[in-house]
Amino acid sequence: MKAAVPRTPREVVFVDGVRTPFGKAGEKGMYAQTRADDLVIKCIRELLRRNPDLPPERVEEVAIAATTQIGDQGLTLGRMAALLSGLPKTTPGYSVDRMCAGAMTAVTNVAGAISFGAIDVAVAGGVEHMGRHPMGEGVDPNPRVVAEKLVDPSALVMGKTAENLHDRYPSLTKERSDAYALGSQRKLAQAYEDGKIQPDLVEVATRHAEKGWGLATTDEPPRPQTTLEDLAGLKTPFRPHGNVTAGNAAGLNDGATACLIASEQAAAELGLPVRMRLVDFAFVGVEPEVMGYGPVPAAEKALAKAGLGIEDIGLFELNEAFAVQVLAFLEHFGIADDDERVNRYGGAIATGHPLASSGVRLMTQLARQFEEDPSVRYGMTAMCIGIGMGGAVIWENPHHADYGSDTTSEA
């Protein structure tokens, strides 16, 4: 009888990532009458176009996330997107749901399979069409969750959890949140002006019964002319005289992302670029009532597993579901609100946050910043997750002089 082939963990690399421009949810948004699955299909096709050295048959898995898995975001979206993108019928696929961290989880899922040796190359991404499918559409939360006081009712409303975070940490004031939000808008505007965002955007043809044909080329949500005075005057919809507003939180958005993840060996064999190496990752649970705190213990766990400290992280891409959530992370780790290592291109407050798609946007932007700044060896992408979770992924910069030496963790 033959013995099974021994397994040796393999390094996992981020090859390339793209996204659609993000739109405003609702009938006035640019994707109002565009299908959700067509958005992510466009991203997958663009990845294949941008990487002609990758034979389509070498893509062995397609993992696509959606928070609301219904309608044109349902029906095993990863498999359907693979078929409709022109990948071979032999390419399998599946759907992922970890709310806001769906695409992040799609990446870590396929990374685990690659590290184990089950596959060599995969596509991972996410899509959310919040105009067609509002968060929570068609769900039926078990009444015991509230009746048995497993969570406070506010845990099921993300904006209320952000207000709870303000309550728990009084130093995280509305004024700080507004100032942070203004910075996000200005950084995104500067990134667009400097041509940092455009290289990884996929133009999307749109059609509307009344408006006719269009072409989505830039993000729709940014408000670059915002002022602190504007932000100070906004309503607080989740609580009278509260702290969370439409100006210091991400909006309701439509959009999609996708990326190529591969083993280091497969990337070398196929001549694919290596834009980041996966160092380690962690997902954790926290009290659902303060779900925005989730990235803190997630980052601590990932850092501990990697043998690194927060001081080793030279760049952060933190998802800005709410300004207070990012501020809680920064304050915990002793990082200034305006630290230049954090969200250099702005964040979700300005760009938009189509829930399950956002994790890959963070990764794509971090990869672009790694190319610009070879002095940085490690970066982190992190985000809070609804129902009380957090996720963090640590990446290594292949442009750094010490890349690959003295690695701290297997992916």
Query: Please, are residues 117 and 7 in contact by the beta-carbon 8 Å criterion?
Result: yes
pLDDT of residue 353 exceeding 70, the answer is yes
**Across 268-296, average pLDDT:** 97
What's the mean pLDDT when you consider all of the chain?
95
pLDDT of residue 129 exceeding 60, the answer is yes
Note the pLDDT of residue 410: 42
Note the pLDDT of residue 59: 98
Local structure of 219: helix, strand or coil: coil
Q: What element of type H or E holds 19?
A: strand 12-19
Share of the chain above pLDDT 90, in %: 90
Other CB atoms within a 10 A radius of the CB of residue 3 amount to 5
Query: Please, are residues 24 and 221 in contact by the beta-carbon 8 Å criterion?
Result: yes
Q: Of 3.40.50.300, 3.40.50.1370, 3.40.47.10, 3.40.50.1360, which CATH number belongs to 12-130+151-396?
A: 3.40.47.10
Note the pLDDT of residue 407: 52
**Across 169-196, average pLDDT:** 98
Gap between the Cα atoms of 360 and 124, Å rounded: 8
pLDDT-based confidence at 404, cuts 50/70/90?
confident
Note the pLDDT of residue 406: 61
- C-alpha distances in Å from residue 330, one per residue of 95, 293, 356, 375: 32, 11, 23, 22
**Across 62-69, average pLDDT:** 96
Gap between the Cα atoms of 353 and 183, Å rounded: 17
CA angle 292/295/298 to nearest 5° reads 140
Gap between the Cα atoms of 3 and 102, Å rounded: 37
pLDDT-based confidence at 411, cuts 50/70/90?
very low
Catalytic residues, by residue number, are 100, 353, 384
Each residue's pLDDT tens digit, 293-323? 999 999 999 999 999 999 999 999 999 999 9
Query: Please, are residues 190 and 323 in contact by the beta-carbon 8 Å criterion?
Result: no
15 is written with which tokens? Answer: 């090859």
**Across 68-82, average pLDDT:** 95
DSSP 8-state symbol, 20 = P
Other CB atoms within a 10 A radius of the CB of residue 112 amount to 15
Maximum separation of any 2 CA atoms in the chain, in Å: 76
- C-alpha distances in Å from residue 113, one per residue of 5, 11, 55, 70, 367: 16, 11, 20, 27, 22
pLDDT of residue 357 exceeding 90, the answer is yes
**Across 64-74, average pLDDT:** 95
Query: Please, are residues 371 and 339 in contact by the beta-carbon 8 Å criterion?
Result: no
Range name among 4-8, 354-358, 397-401 with the lowest pLDDT average: 4-8
Query: Please, are residues 370 and 41 in contact by the beta-carbon 8 Å criterion?
Result: no
Share of the chain above pLDDT 70, in %: 99
Each residue's pLDDT tens digit, 371-395? 999 999 999 999 999 999 999 999 9
**Across 148-161, average pLDDT:** 89
